[in-house]
Amino acid sequence: MPDIHETLRTVWGYDAFRPRQEEIVRAVLAGRDTLALLPTGGGKSLCFQVPALAMRKLCLVVSPLIALMKDQTERLRKLGVRAASITSGMDQHEVENTLNSAGLGKLDFLYVSPERLLTSIFQARLPGLPLGLIAVDEAHCISQWGYDFRPPYLKIAEVREKHPDVPVLALTASATAMVADDIMLRLGFKAPHLVRGPFQRPELALWISRGEDRTGRLLRIARHTQGSGIIYLRQRKGTVRIAGLLKQHGISAAAYHAGLSPEERDAVQQQWMRGEIRFVAATNAFGMGIDKADVRTVVHMEPPPDLESYYQEAGRAGRDGTAAFAFLLAHESDEVALRDRFAASFPTLAEVRRVYQAFADQHRIALGSGEFETYDLDLRTIADRTALSPATVNHCLKALELDGGIALSEAVRTPSRVGIRATSADVYDIRVRDKRLGPVLEALQRMYGGLFEEPAIIDEERISRHLNLSVNQVIGLLRDLHRREVVFYRPRNDKPTVTLLVARRDASKLTLDKEALELRKERARQRLEAMIHFTFGADQCRERTLLGYFGEYTSGPCGHCDVCTSRTDHHKSVVAESSPAPLPTSNGILEHRWATDINDR
Ligand code: ADP
């Protein structure tokens, strides 16, 4: 058995495993199919990275989130580990190069987005890959019962058929018992094996407050707490309003949502990470890959759509193990709003058809073409063309994705990349003879080495300065070289994308699988009811309700949520003022008792 502690120390510099990590790593090394259920921040990636490195074989990692994939491959590379990813939007040539490296044993980790598994090139190369482990991140995406079903995930079972002896490690932070069973079934586990991490967060007090004035409550929270916080809102404009409000009251804050430029988003995130601003008022676009341990407060200005999202977002507070709060500011009207939003998230077939048509028109995709092509997604344009709201357009696209016709990818900033496709003789020839294209090729080779072997990240501005041309001229020349197949050039992008998984169909004949739709609606309704019950029920410890939903049973009430505290207070007033019931204090940072005071006055 390889020394996994040695791997942990030498590669990552960590002294010990976190709870359940070692058990998972050992199970994988023993060849057992395993489902690891660990909370966000529990250290899921190491569970497959350590055994894969110890095995010295290729680990195929399926992940739906391009930003996370990019982040992980970059981190691994910095540690000297050989990692690459294949995502939608990549050039065929680039995909082939990466698969070649993987096939030749030049990679330790190959990250793939699920829709890439469906492509013929991937299917053809798959049997030849020297696989030692298949890791399935965000494994709940394989279950129709889960909250983020993605049909291409079902293809992972086929990957397994080609490598029957390779174990699979499925990882997720949110799966009810039913979803967990479904994951193991759909991934073709040889025998069920579930390792569940501790989801209980003793340092985190879950607090639901009800009342009229949400902003008043928020201000009281901001004044009573210290340290960093995140305020979650559903709407972009709400984030701007709330950040403004806090600033007016002398509390440092900034807004964060997907509509900001990547530079603006980065700047806000960095300032907050460094503690220069206390609060980020954000949509759910804020959070992924954020690794800040000392978040003291998370506030939901309104209930999120389901407990999976709630747990994930609330759980960003108190990662350092020091007392923290997660507030949910509810209002009587929230139940109706949640139900309305639920109804709106299932658009009509006619709306779905209109959106599909508008998208195809916008990109001029001919009938029967476009399979596995990736296109930029511009919700506003489609909304304008269809006269539907951007939210409805989004739901229509989601319906198409759930039906297996398209794959959506979040906005990720990908830098421009260039690799050389032509032979060195041809490149030399162009450099000598072509007065227009020659200098660009020369600059590329001079500024970025190894372009024949591997594509490099380039900066068009730098090249333009070097050649004394405008940036647009450089981009034009690069595009020209790309058209002539001398180089492949992928310009930078920061838009969400749509990949067609089925060639463009006739919108008027488009149908959606009715049975699957009904099933999904029913599951979504159950999640909605659970969220409503959690928000408006006031008879059971919050932590207990939440953990119970995820199948974890606690030995007793948490003692510090709003329900538990109100009981303690009641108990106290009934018993005797002089013998106060012990109230949890919190290392001097917070006194939980003040929180009873945030409601409207
Ligand atoms: P998850 O995917 O479960 O949300 P990650 O795998 O991203 O969590 O890990 C969260 C953070 O914890 C990362 O910065 C990671 O390097 C760190 N981490 C994971 N395991 C350990 C460990 N055993 N010791 C110290 N840090 C760890």
pTM for the whole structure: 0.81
HEC assignment per residue over 128-156: HCCEEEEEECCHHHHCCCCCCCCHHHHHH
- Does 40 contact ligand 1 (Cβ within 6 A)? yes
In a 13 Å sphere around the CA of 171, the CA atoms on its Cβ side amount to 26
Instruction: Report whether pLDDT(570) > 70.
Output: no
Name the amino acid, one letter, at 252: S
Q: What pLDDT score does 577 carry?
A: 31
Least Cα distance to 553 among 129, 231, 265, 198 occurs for: 198
Q: What pLDDT score does 207 carry?
A: 96
Instruction: Report whether pLDDT(332) > 50.
Output: yes
Q: Which residue's CA lies nearest to atom 25 of ligand 1?
A: 14
Question: What is the rounded average pLDDT of the residues 42-69?
Answer: 93
Please state which of the ranges 139-143, 421-425, 518-522, 556-560 shows the lowest mean pLDDT.
Answer: 518-522
Torsion sign (Cα): 46, 50, 53, 59: negative
Q: What pLDDT score does 583 carry?
A: 34
Question: What is the rounded average pLDDT of the residues 420-433?
Answer: 93
Q: What pLDDT score does 78 carry?
A: 94
Q: DSSP assignment of 582-598, as one string?
A: PPPEETTTEEGGGGGG-
Q: Which residue's CA lies nearest to atom 12 of ligand 1?
A: 43
CB 538 within 8 A of CB 563: yes
Residues 6+ apart with CB under 8 A from 58: 52, 102, 105, 107, 108, 109, 110, 129, 130, 131, 132
35 strand-pairing partners:
170, 194
Q: Which residue's CA lies nearest to atom 9 of ligand 1?
A: 43
Quick check: helix, strand or coil at residue 254? strand
Q: Which residue's CA lies nearest to atom 15 of ligand 1?
A: 43
| Residue 385 burial (10 A CB sphere; 0-12, 13-18, 19+) | middle
Q: What pLDDT score does 340 carry?
A: 93
Which CATH number is associated with domain 4-196?
3.40.50.300
Which band of pLDDT confidence, cut at 50, 70 and 90, is reported for residue 571? very low
- Does 18 contact ligand 1 (Cβ within 6 A)? yes
% of the chain with per-residue pLDDT over 70? 94
59-85 confidence digits (pLDDT tens): 999 998 887 888 899 999 999 999 999
Instruction: Report whether pLDDT(586) > 60.
Output: no
Question: What is the rounded average pLDDT of the residues 355-383?
Answer: 93
Q: Reduced to 3 DSSP states, what percent helix, strand and coil does the chain have, rounded to the nearest 5?
A: 45, 15, 40
Q: What pLDDT score does 579 carry?
A: 29
CB 257 within 8 A of CB 278: no
Q: DSSP assignment of 476-535, as one string?
A: HHHHHHHHTTSEEEE--B-S-EEEESS----GGG----HHHHHHHHHHHHHHHHHHHHHH
Q: What pLDDT score does 266 carry?
A: 87
Instruction: Report whether pLDDT(581) > 60.
Output: no
Instruction: Report whether pLDDT(496) > 90.
Output: no
Q: What pLDDT score does 539 carry?
A: 87
Q: What pLDDT score does 168 carry?
A: 98
CB 184 within 8 A of CB 167: no
Please state which of the ranges 45-49, 146-150, 357-361 shows the lowest mean pLDDT.
Answer: 146-150
- Does 199 contact ligand 1 (Cβ within 6 A)? no
Please state which of the ranges 330-339, 421-430, 515-524 shows the lowest mean pLDDT.
Answer: 515-524
- Give the separation between CA 521 and CA 524, rounded to whole angstroms: 5
Q: Which residue's CA lies nearest to atom 14 of ligand 1?
A: 291
In the structure, how many helices (H) and strands (E) does the chain have? 23, 21
Angle, vertex CA 170, rays to CA 371 and CA 12, nearest 5: 105
Q: Quick one: residue 287, left, alpha or beta (phi over 0 = left, psi -120 to 50 = alpha)? A: left
Which band of pLDDT confidence, cut at 50, 70 and 90, is reported for residue 415? confident
* Superfamily name and number for 204-338+540-590: P-loop containing nucleotide triphosphate hydrolases (3.40.50.300)
Report CA(320)–ligand 1 centroid distance (Å): 12
Strand 456-457 versus strand 417-420 pairing type: antiparallel
- Give the separation between CA 421 and CA 418, rounded to whole angstroms: 10
The tokens for 564 are 């538990």
Angle, helices 542-549/514-536, rounded to nearest 10 degrees: 160
Distance linking the first and last C-alpha atoms of the chain: 64
Report CA(203)–ligand 1 centroid distance (Å): 18
Q: What pLDDT score does 1 carry?
A: 62
Question: What is the rounded average pLDDT of the residues 39-46?
Answer: 88
Instruction: Report whether pLDDT(589) > 50.
Output: no
Report CA(84)–ligand 1 centroid distance (Å): 20
- Does 20 contact ligand 1 (Cβ within 6 A)? no
Q: What pLDDT score does 569 carry?
A: 63
Residues 6+ apart with CB under 8 A from 385: 358, 361, 362
- Does 291 contact ligand 1 (Cβ within 6 A)? yes
Q: What pLDDT score does 285 carry?
A: 85
Domains 4-196 and 204-338+540-590 in one fold: yes
Atom of ligand 1 nearest to the CA of 40: 4
Quick check: helix, strand or coil at residue 176? coil
How many beta carbons lie within 10 A of that of residue 191, not counting itself?
Answer: 7
Domain boundaries, the chain: 4-196, 204-338+540-590, 417-490
Q: What pLDDT score does 601 carry?
A: 54
Instruction: Report whether pLDDT(573) > 50.
Output: no
Least Cα distance to 475 among 421, 95, 487 occurs for: 487
510-530 confidence digits (pLDDT tens): 998 888 888 888 989 999 999
Report CA(42)–ligand 1 centroid distance (Å): 6
Which band of pLDDT confidence, cut at 50, 70 and 90, is reported for residue 41? confident
Which band of pLDDT confidence, cut at 50, 70 and 90, is reported for residue 259? confident
Q: Which residue's CA lies nearest to atom 19 of ligand 1?
A: 43
* CA separation, residue 187 to residues 119, 124, 153 (Å): 19, 21, 9
Q: Quick one: residue 235, left, alpha or beta (phi over 0 = left, psi -120 to 50 = alpha)? A: beta
- Does 316 contact ligand 1 (Cβ within 6 A)? no
Strand order in the sheet with 324-330: 204-210, 324-330, 295-300, 228-232, 279-282, 253-256
CB 511 within 8 A of CB 504: no
Quick check: helix, strand or coil at residue 299? strand
H or E element at residue 399: helix 390-402
How many beta carbons lie within 10 A of that of residue 77, not counting itself?
Answer: 13
Report CA(46)–ligand 1 centroid distance (Å): 7
Contacts 24+ apart (CB under 8 A), 346-351: 346/395, 346/399, 346/517, 346/521, 346/524, 347/392, 347/395, 347/396, 347/399, 349/510, 349/511, 349/512, 351/386, 351/388, 351/392, 351/396
How many beta carbons lie within 10 A of that of residue 399, not counting itself?
Answer: 23
452-471 confidence digits (pLDDT tens): 888 888 999 899 999 999 98
Least Cα distance to 257 among 287, 296, 298 occurs for: 287
Report CA(66)–ligand 1 centroid distance (Å): 18
Atom of ligand 1 nearest to the CA of 44: 3
The tokens for 566 are 């109100």
CB 393 within 8 A of CB 347: no
- Give the separation between CA 356 and CA 348, rounded to whole angstroms: 13
46, 53, 78, 79: which to mutate for ligand 1, most atoms within 8 A of CB? 46
Which band of pLDDT confidence, cut at 50, 70 and 90, is reported for residue 593? low
Average pLDDT, the chain: 89
14, 53, 137, 311: which to mutate for ligand 1, most atoms within 8 A of CB? 14
Please state which of the ranges 64-73, 110-119, 174-183, 266-275 shows the lowest mean pLDDT.
Answer: 64-73
Which band of pLDDT confidence, cut at 50, 70 and 90, is reported for residue 145? confident
Instruction: Report whether pLDDT(584) > 60.
Output: no
Which band of pLDDT confidence, cut at 50, 70 and 90, is reported for residue 109? very high
Strand order in the sheet with 194-196: 83-86, 109-112, 58-62, 131-136, 168-172, 34-37, 194-196
Q: What pLDDT score does 289 carry?
A: 67
Q: What pLDDT score does 555 carry?
A: 81
Q: What pLDDT score does 476 carry?
A: 93
Angle, vertex CA 227, rays to CA 222 and CA 229, nearest 5: 60
- Give the separation between CA 340 and CA 575, rounded to whole angstroms: 45
- Does 41 contact ligand 1 (Cβ within 6 A)? yes
